[in-house]
Amino acid sequence: MADTPAGGGLLRLSLRRAAIGALGLIVAVVILFPLGFAYVGTHVARPVVHDIELGATNVEDVQLHTSDGLTLEGSYVPSRNGAAVVVAFGRKGAQDPARMLARHGYGVLIFDRRGEGESDGDPNPYAWDDGEKDLLAAVEFLKERGDVERGRIGGIGLSVGGETFLQAAARSDDIQAVVSEGATARSGGELDSVPGSPWSQVAFNRLISAATAVFSNSSPPQHLIEQVGQIAPRAVFLIYAPNVDNGDEKRFNRAYYREAGAPKAIWAIPEAGHVGAQDARPGAYEQRVVRFLDQALRKEKR
């Protein structure tokens, strides 16, 4: 009989330790991981990109100046057709579409956003309103170029760049056309604004958004779905991969398309990964994107 209490005590001790371990794991996943993700995103920048190849011999190293006093480093291929396009963000992933546009005579600008590469400032993984300031600095640079005609500036935005370009175009008439690929949500609140995301994903992203706001001393922007309608009558082309990110790209791009005014276009590529449209269908991508920009930025629109 003496063995029973000891055995029961050992069982209770084992259960208690297991419960403490499980609680610790939950705390790590639910709280510490979002905090760590936000901290890294707002303190660790992307490295400098040295291998810049834009398919032209006349690539210029340029500087952009933001409205809040930062200097951003970029690379520019002068325009041969009077129109120019900003490809955002970064000087690595933006090079493939930039080379494509340069072949068709477009001026092409790529740059390191704030806090990344050789540019001033602190990083923010979602870009938020600071990303808009960076894009508008790029647009101002193009407006001052002698090779770029008035009213012939557009943008290609990839992932966060796509979301930020939609916001910037909603607020600036200087952006005459936007190709947005892979746009979804920039905060937990935005994620919750379009039904379909699992509650756990929404809660997780709300924690990341709150932590990012603290670490970056900034606030999430106005929901993008409330802004895209302001872009019209300027043109929008939405591209998305329907089978990635729990279907977020599909839900959000369809929502953006519903709210956008004409002219607008949307293209789903089932076999593409996130921002992988050009890799998945290079010929069709070049044909559709260049045709869209040719129409939206044609000379007689000035």
Q: Residue 180 in contact with residue 236, Cβ under 8 Å?
A: yes
Least confident of 27-31, 61-65, 149-153: 27-31
Terminal CA-CA length for the chain: 96
> What three-state secondary structure class fits 71?
strand
> What three-state secondary structure class fits 264?
strand
Q: Residue 207 in contact with residue 34, Cβ under 8 Å?
A: yes
Q: Is the per-residue pLDDT at 25 higher than 60? A: no
> What three-state secondary structure class fits 263?
coil
Q: Residue 184 in contact with residue 163, Cβ under 8 Å?
A: yes
At 10, is the pLDDT very low, low, confident or very high (cuts 50, 70, 90)? low
Q: Residue 90 in contact with residue 112, Cβ under 8 Å?
A: yes
> Domain locations in the chain?
1-44+196-217, 49-186+221-301
The CA dihedral of 187, 161, 225, 132, to the nearest 10 degrees, is 90
For the stretch 214-231, pLDDT in tens is 555 556 678 899 999 999
The pair of three-digit structure tokens given for residue 84, joined into one six-digit string: 């120019």
The pair of three-digit structure tokens given for residue 2, joined into one six-digit string: 């003496």
Cα angle at 123 between 249 and 93, to 5 degrees?
50
Least confident of 52-66, 207-221, 271-285: 207-221
What is residue 201's predicted lDDT score, i.e. its pLDDT? 62
- What kind and span of H or E run contains 123? none
Across the chain, mean pLDDT equals 83
Compute the distance between CA of residue 96 and CA of residue 119 in angstroms, rounded to an integer: 21
The pair of three-digit structure tokens given for residue 299, joined into one six-digit string: 């000379």
What is residue 216's predicted lDDT score, i.e. its pLDDT? 52
Q: How many CB atoms lie within 10 A of CB 59?
A: 18
Domain at 49-186+221-301: CATH code = 3.40.50.1820
What is residue 22's predicted lDDT score, i.e. its pLDDT? 45
% of the chain residues with pLDDT over 90 = 58
Residue-wise over 227-245: b if at least 16 C-beta within 10 A, else e? bbebbbebbbbbbbbbebb
The position carrying tokens 């500036």 is 153
Region 146-158 average pLDDT:
97
> What three-state secondary structure class fits 66?
coil
Q: How many CB atoms lie within 10 A of CB 246?
A: 13
The residues pairing with 191 across neighbouring beta strands, listed in sequence order, are none
